[in-house]
């Protein structure tokens, strides 16, 4: 890259054009942090809803993996953060949830998604992380099952298989998930979901993002005191697991190894 261009880039302020225009920053590393649940003048989702998704995550995924007019699906949309972000960004969107909290979210159990095979351009899902939040009394709510119970992963695998089916080949899914530390026991929920997606459902890995957790109910003086006194850690991040449905294409330029060089 010519030196003048490098200098020009280095001189640019760290506050991007997007932030000036009330958009979140375009994330370029695998550590994503945003101090608020939403951005801009219009709220996205309901920040009073326990378990609401940080809107900047969906905004960042849209910039990288979709174009205007693409169809995005959120199978567990609840208060509709994905719907609000997608509509503002000119994407078509369908949100489902077993317990809708937004007028445009359709009631549906995401173990069966009423959409055709290979019809969707991107999926975002923020599933329950175990039974830590009481979302509803519906027995079909997967958030009724503990993350220590193998059934939790079996039920979420059914959801993952539906997502795989409706995605077009080569298209991307982001799954937001957090680990669990309850009653002195750590459960690596994120690793287990990653393993299920890649090993069992056969999604191709793209990357693993750490999203800083803010404004959670344990972010109080009392919990920080307990974490120190009883020697445990409060959850500081969630994973955004980025995967894609294979497109069946072989690598365009297969790697040629010059074996003579290694003799
Ligand atoms: C972390 S919340 C999603 C938050 C949402 N993205 C938002 O911003 O409001 C998880 C959601 O999964 C939903 N859920 C649990 N089991 C489900 C199922 N079998 N089918 C569809 N939704 C389900 C719950 O009702 C809950 O709303």
pLDDT tens per residue, range 142-154? 999 999 999 999 9
- Shortest-distance Cα residue to atom 18 of ligand 1: 109
Rounded Cα gap, residues 100 and 102, in angstroms: 6
Q: Say whether pLDDT at 20 is over 90.
A: no
Ligand 1 first shell, C-beta below 6 A: 45, 49, 51-53, 76-79, 81, 96-99, 109-111, 126-128, 135-136, 140-143
Burial of 111 (0-12, 13-18, 19+ CB in 10 A): middle
The token pair at 47 is 């920040």
Which band of pLDDT confidence, cut at 50, 70 and 90, is reported for residue 16?
A: low
The alpha carbon of residue 157 and the mean position of all alpha carbons in its chain are separated, in whole angstroms, by 16
What's this model's pTM, rounded to 2 decimal places? 0.89
State which CATH number among 3.90.1140.10, 3.40.50.150, 3.40.50.1980, 3.40.640.10 fits the domain covering 31-245.
3.40.50.150
Which band of pLDDT confidence, cut at 50, 70 and 90, is reported for residue 81?
A: very high
Q: Say whether pLDDT at 5 is over 90.
A: no
Distance 107 CA to ligand 1 centre (A): 10
Residue 201's pLDDT is what? 98
Pairing relationship of beta strands 185-187 and 180-182 according to DSSP bridges: antiparallel
Per-domain residue ranges of the chain: 31-245
Q: 39, 81 in Cβ contact below 8 A?
A: no
Q: Say whether pLDDT at 15 is over 60.
A: no
Residue 14's pLDDT is what? 59
Q: 128, 135 in Cβ contact below 8 A?
A: yes
Distance 155 CA to ligand 1 centre (A): 13
Residue 248's pLDDT is what? 81
Residue 165's pLDDT is what? 98
pLDDT per residue as tens digits for the range 106-139: 999 999 999 999 999 999 999 999 998 999 999 9
Residue 17's pLDDT is what? 54
Distances (CA, A) of 197 to 52, 153, 208, 245: 23, 10, 13, 10
Residue 18's pLDDT is what? 55
pLDDT per residue as tens digits for the range 152-189: 999 999 999 999 999 999 999 999 999 999 888 999 99
Distances (CA, A) of 256 to 127, 168, 249, 252, 263: 42, 30, 18, 12, 16
Length of the chain: 263
């Amino acid at each position: 890259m010519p030196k003048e261009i490098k200098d020009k880039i280095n001189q640019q302020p760290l506050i991007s054009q997007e932030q000036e225009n009330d958009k979140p920053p375009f994330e370029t590393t695998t550590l994503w942090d945003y101090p608020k649940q939403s951005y801009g003048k219009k709220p996205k989702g309901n920040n009073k809803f326990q378990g609401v998704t940080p809107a900047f995550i969906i905004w960042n995924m849209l910039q990288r993996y979709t174009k205007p007019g693409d169809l995005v699906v959120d199978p567990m949309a609840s208060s509709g953060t994905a719907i609000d972000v997608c509509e503002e960004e000119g994407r078509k969107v369908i949100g489902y949830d077993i317990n809708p909290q937004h007028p445009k979210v359709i009631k549906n159990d995401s173990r069966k998604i009423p959409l055709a095979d290979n019809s969707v351009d991107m999926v975002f899902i923020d599933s329950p992380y175990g039974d830590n939040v009481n979302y509803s009394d519906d027995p079909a709510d997967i958030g009724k099952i503990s993350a220590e119970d193998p059934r939790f992963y079996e039920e979420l695998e059914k959801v993952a298989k539906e997502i795989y089916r409706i995605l077009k080949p080569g298209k991307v899914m982001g799954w937001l998930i957090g680990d669990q530390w309850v009653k002195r026991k750590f459960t690596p929920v994120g690793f287990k979901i990653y393993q299920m997606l890649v090993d069992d459902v056969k999604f191709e890995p793209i990357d693993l993002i750490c999203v800083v957790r803010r404004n959670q109910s344990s972010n109080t003086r009392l919990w920080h005191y307990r974490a120190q006194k009883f020697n445990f850690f409060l959850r500081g991040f969630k994973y955004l697991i980025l995967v894609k449905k294979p497109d069946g294409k072989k690598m365009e330029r297969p790697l040629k190894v010059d074996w003579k060089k290694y003799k």
